[in-house]
Amino acid sequence: MTDAKPAAREATRTSELRHRLRKHVPAAVLFVLGLVAWEGLIRAFDVESFVLPAPSEIGSRLVDQWSVIMSAAGNTMIEVIGGLTAGVVLGVTVALISVRWEAAREGILPFAIATNAMPIIALAPIANNMFPVTSPVSKMTVVAIVVFFPVMINTVRGLTEVGTGELELMRSFAATPRELFTKVRIPSALPYFFSALKVASTLSIIAAIVAEYFGGPQDVLGQYIIAKANLFVFPDAWAAILVASAIGIAFYGIILGAERLVMSWHVSLRATEAG
Amino acid sequence: MSDSPVVRARNLGKTFGKGSDRVEALRGIDLDIESGEFVSLIGPSGCGKSTLLRLIGDLVPASSGELTVNGKSPQQARLDRDYGIVFQKATLLDWRTVTKNVELPLEIMDEEARSERAASMLDLVQLSDFAKHYPWQLSGGMQQRVAIARALAFEPSLLLMDEPFGALDEMTRELMQQEVLRLWQQTHTTVVFVTHSIPEAVFLSTRVIVMSARPGRITDRIETQLPYPRTVDTRESAAYYDKITEVRESLRRGDRQ
């Protein structure tokens, strides 16, 4: 394995690539078939475009509205990235503090759990008035609150679910609590952290768009969708939804890539042995 | 140091729980383990053999009696890194390579030459070719060899082993027993070995401590008296079978008491 000849390694790499491509064939076929069926049904039954537009129509509207939608998507992404970053930093910080110091855990956790019970839809209009109308900070606040809880609770679980064997091993080495933390608890928490991040990335886009529905700058996806829906131009709204979904998938993909990079050792990411 | 025993227990007792949940895991344990001995603790489940090992390793505190390790309290001995421990599960850290796993205790002890030390330990357990592998790429037996290398990396005077081969298949198990004997002879480490396999205890040990349950106590001490180095021939010798029979009968007697 380590001393494989370069040529052999090249061969395994191409076969691995082929293997991976083959894995994605069924999904791609299903996707294309789905689009064709959708298009066909809309045409066959003459469905009105305000009920459900055909994919071809959404596609052509997307091309037509490209620069407007992209500008809106850019502003929405700023809110998402800002809120996601703040929520993740806050969630991880609270998790680290509450696991490291038990007194902190007793004090903080009830409040952290309370934020989870908070309905963000109710919060959105209020957050809009906390900050200047044009400021993206109000949307970021909503996103951060939504992201905070899953990140915090999953990181806490990862940090605390260390096996007794590992704990006793570190005890036998007379390791300090700090060494136990950095050498065992934090690496053990990484898989939990990344699953939380995947959930959070999806939630953050939902939260940002919902917050946008309640007002603020017009050049954002949420406002674009509302405006187009109010004008009964549904294919345009669908085009914006398509872009929002693409952003969600892109975020997910980036996190997946980071996960592979950081924890290639983990069970879920191990390269399949010999194809 | 060589005059006083490595482990000395007098009237040692351990109870878990309180009130009606109270379980007496160990009662009246008197035991001396001399430097360089290979001592096995054997007995039915619930006899407290693992508990005794964990008392020695200061993983649980004793309830009564006295216990010293290298003439010190078990806690002091642990803080002085007097012992290395191997569990039934290899408990390797998944995110560290084999080398980095062996280096773990050396990192904690701020050892300077840890890569050299880890390399020589891996050489000792014959895993040098797998230095850069991750634990999941190794078989169960190889993982356990890494765990042993890690436990011995900082040259502790005492090696505690808690059913280390319990999860391995019979073939691997016999190879590992051979391996441990070789390491024991090369490093002159004192070994305390918990097992529920009679042949394993006899094959490995200089002395077998037979224990019984309810309450956990020592019922017999048997010198194996088989010459070292012990090999495949030892396993087929009449003296070996006689000792196995002796330990088995002793276990049965202890159970009836």
Q: Are B237 and B203 in contact (CB under 8 A)?
A: no
In the three-class reduction of DSSP (H, G, I as helix; E, B as strand; rest coil), residue A275 is classed as coil
Contact: A265, B134; criterion CB under 8 Å = yes
The pLDDT tens digits of the residues spanning B122-136 come to 998 899 999 999 999
Q: Are B62 and B16 in contact (CB under 8 A)?
A: no
- Prediction pTM value: 0.84
The pLDDT tens digits of the residues spanning A217-248 come to 899 999 999 999 999 999 999 999 999 999 99
Cα angle value A35/A41/A43 (rounded, 5°)? 105
- pLDDT (average), residues A33-57: 91
Quick one: closest CA in A to B97, which residue? A265
Could you list the beta-strand ranges (E) of B110-206: 158-162, 190-195
> Is the omega angle on the peptide bond into residue B215 within 30 degrees of 0, that is, cis?
yes
Q: Residues 67 to 126 of B: which have CB under 8 A from any A CB?
A: 78-81, 83-85, 87, 89, 91, 93-95, 104-105, 107-109
Is a pLDDT exceeding 90 seen at residue A76? yes
Gap between the Cα atoms of A155 and B54, Å rounded: 31
To which residue do tokens 């042949």 refer?
B199
To which residue do tokens 């045409």 refer?
A43
Confidence of residue A130 (pLDDT cuts 50, 70, 90): confident
In the three-class reduction of DSSP (H, G, I as helix; E, B as strand; rest coil), residue B81 is classed as coil
Contact: B93, A179; criterion CB under 8 Å = no
| Alpha carbon of B95: minimum distance to chain A alpha carbons (Å) | 5
| Average pLDDT score, chain A | 87
Is a pLDDT exceeding 90 seen at residue B178? yes
Which phi and psi angles does B18 have, rounded to 5°? Answer: -135, 160
Which phi and psi angles does A217 have, rounded to 5°? Answer: -55, 145
Contact: B91, A173; criterion CB under 8 Å = no
Q: Nearest CA to A90 among A171, A49, A148?
A: A148
Q: Which of A166, A263, A270 sits opposite B136 (nearest CB)?
A: A270
pLDDT at A8: 63
The structure tokens listed for A164 are 């007794």
